[in-house]
Structure 1
Amino acid sequence: MDGTLLAVNGYMYAIVPKSMERKYRKLHELFCIMGVRFHQLAIPIVLSFTAAMCAVAGFGLLIPLARSLAARDISQMLDTPFLGNVLTIFARSPTEALSETALLVIAAGLFVALQLLRISLEYASFAFAHYWGGRYARNITLAMLRRYLRFGKLFFDRESQGEMRTTIMYSQEVLQLLISLRTLLNAGLQLLARLCIMLVISWKLTLIMACAFPLLFVCMRRIAVAMRRLSLHFRQKQMEFGRKLFNVFSAMTLVKTYTREQAMLEHFGALQTEIRSTWFRMLLLEESTKPIQEVIIVCFVTAMLFAGTFMQQAVLDAEQIAVLVVFLYVVIGTMPLYAQMGRMFGLAVETTGPVLQVLSVFNDEEKFIVPEGQEEFGGLRSGIAFRDVWFSYTEDVPVLQGVTFDVPKGSTVAIVGPSGSGKTTLVNLLLRLYDCAPSAIQLDGRDIRTLTHASLQKHIAYVTQEPLLFNESLRENLLFGMDNHLEDATLHSVLQQARLDDLISRLPAGMETVVGDRGIQLSGGEKQRLSIARAILKDAEIIVLDEATSSLDSQTERRIQEALELILQDRTAIIIAHRLSTIRNADKIVVIHAGQVAEEGTLSALLADEDGMFHRLWKAQQFY
């Protein structure tokens, strides 16, 4: 048998099919992520079970009540086990009998009370389930965000931001799954209660109705398989739409300058048509459960009526008709429960795609998680060493090939070279955005992989080539990452150093001006100066500048360079530069070409070698 042998309580064993085992493991994994506790599941289940027992008691009360009414003898209810004992409680004395009117009122009151109690318990079960469900949705959303924040930069380099945003939104679909499971459980318990009543009334008629269950199961199974397939396809197309929409919004200038508006509209129209078509097929399948169930139930009820007549082989008396009416009432009451179970089953299957997508976030495959070290980094004492650094984005093409050089403490080292030579990759390894080989990068002789990320980043300020700004105010962007309160005088001084004071004074809202997505309201130079000011505020002892002045005009660049010279004093700096005019004062220049160190030395020494690569780069920029 294709399955897995499982131990229960250390001595009981069962063969579990592999498909069921996989589903159980997925569900168990999901529950662990959401922080589900036993009592949180038990309370709604107990409430639903108690509500089902109230339904059993209520329907059980209908049978003697119907028989008594049909026989025109209400006092017969006193002979009914348990019910008779309950009714005598309401008598004024043990010797005084209750009138038929009083018996009828009390019995009807008990029935209404049981139904009210059942409704209240079902409502309480609903409230508890949705309360905890909301917490589970919050937990899984935060867990997903926590996971995303752990992933290495290489993961984000490869994945679509639109797909990631859609996946996070799928965490709300998990709540729909939990609601569906609770509703299925509640409806199942109600069906079980009605089945018990049906067995009490007539086990023969109940067996006839029970024959409908396999047929219903086969139909629901086929619908579920089709729904799961369509659900996965629907979610994939939704993610594709989100990814492409994000790409278009991110590159709207490109779309307009290449007049691709109509082409994009047609493409999105075709994609939306496919999404709508898949959604409509899913809707038809989901809604088909109700008519299928009703047709099957009606057919079996009709068969049951004929069977009941033939089994009696005589005209039914009033009591038998009354009991049969109660039986039919119970059977008809199962129809909405079947329909509800069918809908919820369809919804549960529909969420399969989103749930699998959410769970994919929690496996480590292709996540490129950079291992966390255990040692604290208290500051640089001697310097940074790159030792035979290798790195590749794909297995076949290495970006860095045995890069080796030193950055002494307090020095400024410039890294230059053609585009694509691996300069930024080298810096990303130092920042622990990518993982490196053991001891490939050392700080004071300590392997960088042994240091905690937080303690390392605390001592490094980084200015990227492409300024990274949020759609927030200038103040929030400037103070990003600052935990301590900053005096206005200090902030004003930094703005002056970064040459931002003139910009702030021109803006009507000043520091509270919202810069737009990725700082779209600012010019390239203004965005870069804002990034430089943010790095200055961090006051770190190691400063990394990746083409930090590439978007500045020559006049502003000169002013920024003067400010940077003051800032870099007594600090360790690594400067990646394409414009070689910005590295005149570097203590050492490292030339990277094709992922290797081509040259290394001071500016004068490298310029003296007329056959060297740096000399050619310098001459090409007409600074010689």
Structure 2
Amino acid sequence: MPTVLMRSQNLNPRRRRIFTFCDRLDILLYGIGLTAAIVSGASLPLMTIIFGNFTSDFTEYASGPGSGSSGLDSPQSFSHKVDTFTLWFVYLFIGRFIISYIATETVSIAAVRVTRTIRRTFLATLLRQEVERFDNDMANGSPSSQVTTNGIRINQGIAEKLAILVQAISMFFSAFIVALVVQWKLALITACIIPAIVIVAIVSITIDIGFEIRIVRIHSQAAVLAQQVLSSVKTVHAFWAQEKLIKQYDQFLIDARKLSNKKSPNIGLANAVFYFSMYGGTALAFWQGFRMFASGEIGNVGTVLTVILSINIGASSMSVVAPQLGVITNASAAAAELFETIDRESKVDPLSEEGECPSTCEGNLEVRNLAFAYPSRPSAPALRGLNLSIPAGKTTALVGASGCGKSTIVGLLERWYLPDSGEILLDNRNIADYNIKWLRSQIRIVQQEPILFRGTVFENIAKGLVGSQLELPLEQKMKLVQDACRLSNAHDFIEKLPQGYQTQVGERASMLSGGQKQRLVIARSVISDPQILLLDEATSALDPRSEGIVQEALNKVSVNKTTLIIAHKLSTIQSADNIVVISHGEVVEQGTHNELLALNGQYAALVQAQDLGDVAEGPLDGVFEGNDDQGQNDMASKLPEITMSRSSLDISEPDHNTSHAINYSLFKCLFIMIREQKDVYHWMALLVFACLIAGGSYPAQAIIYSRLINVFALPPQAAQGDANFFALMFFIFALINMGAYLVIGWVGNVVGQKITHRYRLEMFQRVLNLDLDFFDEPENSSGSLTSKLSSMPNAIQDLIAQGQFVLLVCMTNIFASCILAIAYGWKLGLVVVFAGMPVLRDTSERFTESAALATEAVTSIRTLASLTLEKQICSEYDASLDHIAKSALKTITWASLGYALSQSLDYLLMALGFWYGSRLIASGEYSNTQFFVVFLSVLFGGQAAGQIFALLATLATAHVAANYVLWLRTLKASISENGDNFDTGPPGNGDLQVKDVMFRYKRREASPVLNGINMTITPGSYTACVGASGCGKSTLIALLERFYDPTSGCITMGDVNITTLSPRLYRASMSLVQQHPTLYNGSIRDNILLGLQYEPTDEEILDACREAAAFDFISSLPEGLSTSCGSEGLQFSGGQRQRIAIARSLIRKPRLLLLDEATSALDTQSEKLVQNALDRAASWRTTIAVAHRLSTIRHADMILVFSDGKIIERGTHDQLQHLKGQYYEMCLAQSFGDRLS
């Protein structure tokens, strides 16, 4: 593994450097395979010598006994001579079969190994990059697309395609060597076609590479967008943004298609010149050959035919070279993109061995004159000469407005970024002097937005282990994990999960509620007993009861540890040893809670803003007394809310998440797809006509060849006219085929690109419009789907743009040749035709799992870096690739056997044809002309069958991709717009009622998440939902948004069941602000206008920003609303992202506003501003808020307290206070009232 990680440095920048990733075994495999390919390529030209001698003997015998020097004066001597040659063909068959198998098998295995190494190196290098790179450059290419799609392209270019290329080149040179040896003068004259072929090939490849690199980059940008969109489908559906995002995705595809179309003339002209040269060279060889035969320079027809066939084989080999070079060109373009990352040196290398690694760490931190501006906004400093002391073993808290620089300090402490000036000291040494992995292993961070990885609960928490802890036995690891979970108040709810600690959390931990995720992250952070704890809004996602217990746990684990807390909830930091107030990147106040209150400055104002006011008397210490475990068990017993779950489809419906539900034949898939292309039928008709001409030219050649062979049996003077005529016919063939292949190459690429664009867009559209339950399936993670979007349309393109027309040419050749052979001589024709029918094979794509792993690693880079998981992730990725490599071996073996048979079967057919044909000629049943027409027809048909075998891998991959696209069409969203509800919007007024609603996720067999919920929400009212994490609050929001439909009961708006309404019009009347906002690549303006059906003015946009308290920070940015949000909005702080999301919701002027912890990420000042704005709008807007921070909902008209999927209390703040129930206890846990009196 270290070798792989270090190999990214100092690599040869040339394309051939792909092979610098070979180890000794790979070099040996390639050496054996390519040597075998060379020998295999040379065998076909050697066959022409035998074939020429064979032909001379046939012609001599047909001319009558004693007409030649071979002594073939009787049928017995003729048959004996034929038997000898037949054995030579059998020997060639056996030899080439074995050699072709060795070549394909060894090269394919080596390619899998080399591609695996390149993938490893790419991911390892990617994970070594500083976080800054991910902020700025990830928009240029999706890691999923790069490492998976490009990896597949590289593999194709260095596997069997490389062996075929080497074999073809060997065949090319061997053919001309044979021709030169047999008759050098004729060979040299005919070789004039070589320069034209070589020059055109070089120019064509050069042009193609330039276009292909640009196309790959555009597709990578499209993949970035697709990955972001598919990982945030709730946001997309909530804002009905499918159409807008699909258009944005389509624009990338249009740009790529325009570039691809510019390649069409190049492809067409290259094909045209090649086939003209090949047939023109054959015409020249026959014409000159007969003249030399007539003059006595050539002794027999066999010599001429050997030279002609050798030249023909050499030229034909270039037809094999051209498509293989296209694949290798694509591989070069794909490799160039990967090498851009591999070549990049990291400013902060987490895997470097450099730097000090002290045996102990006291944890004393000091910040001196720290200044920093994000590279994307150099004119807007985040820190301005900040000075701060964080004593060892003490708790220091940072508070201040969102975007003031608090989280920036964390980023600089973790060395995600490097300061512009100033320094940070750890134990009196600059943190830059320490080894980066050692530094990060001393620190554990709990971020504002909890990030968990795919895998089990146990695996996620164990990722927090460091050093020797990683080598502990499983039982000891489990004990450490459970102890950490008990500290973070997570053990009880984990025990209630279906498989306990072995429960899979799903992509982005979508199977857990926000509070549950946060508690697991806390457990992961404390399991290694770090010296320094960084808590960036560590309890923001927790309900009050859990928050109190978790805060107590954090207080215990932070004893004798340096703890830095960033908090907006001031109740969590009042006992800190030092509280630092930061404003505009500078320290403005610091001291203890009481000292800062006495100052009556900014901190006191923040505290006052969060106070819940007077509460009924009751000691805070007694809230959880005697019922800690019981209260937590109540919460833990709740099934986790699933933010992406199965919708409540009718249980009788078939499970549509099975990718094997459709298995149409390749020809049926092709027929369906062609039938749909009515807009290009005229072009396809032209293509079919061109393919019929190209395919039909082969059996026509058989007739001309047979006539020319007979010409050599006539007196030269009498035959000169016939020789000139048939040579002219070959030249006419050259002109006709030049036109046919110009159309096939040029028009075929244009049509193929159009159809590929259509299916890539269709895949994205169909997936994006499916119900949310589709995305719960493991195979439908965002990384996996992005990989399919990138690779499957490419496979279909290979079928439609190249495969179907090459297939049509070959099939025309085969059928026409067979018909001709049977028509001229049915006995020999039937024997040889039915002996040589090829069989197609199938395969499947294997890389979606590794793609998902790579995508998850990169999108969670901050968490991964802080946990120093780079090597572990690389090891997991290696294991995934190793599994892929092992599973590929069986497929490679069978494919190699099939390919070897296709390459050698010609010889066996020749042996059979010559042997049986000689018997028919000897018995007088067939003439020489009949024999050669039949024999050459079948021979050309057999070569076409070989071309089909060469296409098998492409066809099989395209078959899988086509079936997947057709399967997607069978999936129907149960919550969709249709003819019945298209114009049916929600009533203009009326109550929103939830009636006896019960809901359980389809895949969960346990108790329902909601159990008999009843509530009535009047227009203009403000309703709040509170309760423990996992109690069903967010599930209610999901049902109100109609992400899912109730299992039983109903939700009505104005007495109209919402299931009868158009989802588009229904969702247009509401807006959702989620706990963790999603921003997409693009400007702030683009994100605010997401899904909006009209184009508002900038002033309207700014008004929405003012309402959301986002105006000030947006206007302070150099580009204002045009500022790029970067990848996933990471250019901004969590609070800034949340305010942009709120502005996005408010500009829609919704009648119903759904707030799912909408202000949890805001600082106190921004929260107050936003809350005031929401309060002002409440006179006409219905608001439903899910909240843990009770200060945000104290003025609600109705507060609903949830527990175990039921509403157990309801009323106003004052009513619930006097009730002294669960809400009362929650208020006590958060109140500052007594301290401010």
Q: TM-score, normalised by structure 1?
A: 0.81
Query: What displacement does 1:599 show?
Result: 1.1
Map of 1:302-381 to 2, 5 A cutoff? 302-313=911-922, 329-364=936-971, 369=975, 373-377=981-985, 379-381=987-989
The answer to which of 394-403 and 493-502 deviates more is 493-502
In structure 1, what is the equivalent of residue 1174 of structure 2?
A: 564
- Residue identity matched to 1:254: T
Q: Does 1:63 align with 2:686?
A: no
In structure 2, what is the equivalent of residue 432 of structure 1?
A: 1042
Contact 1:380/1:443 (<8 A) preserved: no
In structure 2, what is the equivalent of residue 92 of structure 1?
A: none
Query: What displacement does 1:56 show?
Result: 3.8
Map of 1:155-304 to 2, 5 A cutoff? 155-158=774-777, 159-169=780-790, 170-178=792-800, 179-199=802-822, 202-213=825-836, 217=838, 220=839, 224=841, 228=842, 231-232=843-844, 235-236=845-846, 238-276=847-885, 282=891, 285-286=894-895, 288-304=897-913
Contact 2:977/2:1062 (<8 A) preserved: no
CA gap of 1:462–1:599, structure 2 versus 1, over 3 A, is same
Question: Deviation string for 1:176-200 (max 9, x for gaps)?
Answer: 3344344233212112222344345
CA gap of 1:74–1:146, structure 2 versus 1, over 3 A, is farther
Contact 1:442/1:448 (<8 A) preserved: yes
Query: What displacement does 1:604 show?
Result: 1.2
The CA distance in 2 between the partners of 1:470 and 1:326, in whole Å, is 66
Query: What displacement does 1:164 show?
Result: 1.4
In structure 2, what is the equivalent of residue 72 of structure 1?
A: 715
The CA distance in 1 between the partners of 2:671 and 2:1106, in whole Å, is 52
CA gap of 1:306–1:410, structure 2 versus 1, over 3 A, is closer
Q: Does 1:392 align with 2:1033?
A: no
CA gap of 1:272–1:437, structure 2 versus 1, over 3 A, is closer
Structure having greater relative contact order (Cα 8 Å, sep ≥ 6):
2
Q: Does 1:409 align with 2:409?
A: no
In structure 1, what is the equivalent of residue 761 of structure 2?
A: 142
The CA distance in 1 between the partners of 2:1035 and 2:675, in whole Å, is 37
Query: What displacement does 1:25 show?
Result: 10
Contact 2:1117/2:1123 (<8 A) preserved: yes
The CA distance in 1 between the partners of 2:663 and 2:944, in whole Å, is 29
Count of residues in correspondence between the two structures: 563
Question: Deviation string for 1:348-387 (max 9, x for gaps)?
Answer: 223344344434433338x665575345225541221111
The CA distance in 2 between the partners of 1:34 and 1:439, in whole Å, is 45
Contact 1:467/1:531 (<8 A) preserved: yes
In structure 2, what is the equivalent of residue 154 of structure 1?
A: 773
Q: Does 1:49 align with 2:692?
A: yes
The CA distance in 2 between the partners of 1:105 and 1:387, in whole Å, is 93
Query: What displacement does 1:423 show?
Result: 0.9
Contact 1:180/1:345 (<8 A) preserved: no
- Residue identity matched to 1:336: Q
Contact 1:500/1:529 (<8 A) preserved: yes
The CA distance in 2 between the partners of 1:619 and 1:29, in whole Å, is 68
- Residue identity matched to 1:384: L
CA gap of 1:30–1:622, structure 2 versus 1, over 3 A, is farther
1:421 partner SS: coil
The CA distance in 2 between the partners of 1:489 and 1:585, in whole Å, is 30
Query: What displacement does 1:469 show?
Result: 0.7
- Residue identity matched to 2:813: Q
CA gap of 1:379–1:447, structure 2 versus 1, over 3 A, is closer
The CA distance in 1 between the partners of 2:1195 and 2:888, in whole Å, is 63
- Structure 2 residue aligned with 1:582, among 1192, 1198, 1204? 1192
The CA distance in 1 between the partners of 2:903 and 2:1037, in whole Å, is 67
- Structure 2 residue aligned with 1:602, among 1206, 1209, 1212? 1212
1:455 partner SS: helix
In structure 1, what is the equivalent of residue 739 of structure 2?
A: 120
Query: What displacement does 1:173 show?
Result: 1.6
Query: What displacement does 1:212 show?
Result: 2.5
- Residue identity matched to 2:965: V
Query: What displacement does 1:329 show?
Result: 4.8
In structure 1, what is the equivalent of residue 232 of structure 2?
A: none
The CA distance in 2 between the partners of 1:361 and 1:109, in whole Å, is 54
The CA distance in 2 between the partners of 1:534 and 1:514, in whole Å, is 16
CA gap of 1:336–1:119, structure 2 versus 1, over 3 A, is farther
The answer to which of 541-550 and 269-278 deviates more is 269-278
Query: What displacement does 1:584 show?
Result: 1.9
1:416 partner SS: strand
CA gap of 1:405–1:29, structure 2 versus 1, over 3 A, is farther
In structure 1, what is the equivalent of residue 191 of structure 2?
A: none
The answer to which of 278-287 and 595-604 deviates more is 278-287
Q: Does 1:485 align with 2:1095?
A: yes
- Residue identity matched to 1:467: P
In structure 2, what is the equivalent of residue 383 of structure 1?
A: 991
2:713 partner SS: helix
Query: What displacement does 1:398 show?
Result: 0.8
In structure 1, what is the equivalent of residue 254 of structure 2?
A: none
Query: What displacement does 1:541 show?
Result: 1.7
The answer to which of 442-451 and 520-529 deviates more is 520-529
Contact 1:371/1:435 (<8 A) preserved: no
The CA distance in 2 between the partners of 1:369 and 1:34, in whole Å, is 30
Q: TM-score, normalised by structure 2?
A: 0.42
The CA distance in 1 between the partners of 2:1184 and 2:823, in whole Å, is 85
In structure 2, what is the equivalent of residue 110 of structure 1?
A: 729
Contact 2:1073/2:1155 (<8 A) preserved: yes
Query: What displacement does 1:167 show?
Result: 2.4
Map of 1:4-43 to 2, 5 A cutoff? 23=664, 27=668, 31=672, 35-37=676-678, 39=681
The CA distance in 1 between the partners of 2:771 and 2:1139, in whole Å, is 27
2:1090 partner SS: coil
Contact 2:695/2:811 (<8 A) preserved: no
2:1014 partner SS: strand
- Residue identity matched to 1:528: Q
Contact 1:438/1:447 (<8 A) preserved: no
The CA distance in 2 between the partners of 1:374 and 1:482, in whole Å, is 18
2:1009 partner SS: strand
In structure 1, what is the equivalent of residue 363 of structure 2?
A: none
Contact 2:813/2:940 (<8 A) preserved: no
Contact 2:997/2:1048 (<8 A) preserved: no
Query: What displacement does 1:241 show?
Result: 0.5
- Residue identity matched to 2:703: G
The answer to which of 443-452 and 158-167 deviates more is 158-167
CA gap of 1:136–1:112, structure 2 versus 1, over 3 A, is same
Query: What displacement does 1:404 show?
Result: 0.5
1:340 partner SS: helix
1:435 partner SS: coil
Query: What displacement does 1:518 show?
Result: 2.1
Aligned CA RMSD, in angstroms, stands at 3.4
2:1175 partner SS: helix
Query: What displacement does 1:287 show?
Result: 5.2
In structure 2, what is the equivalent of residue 80 of structure 1?
A: none
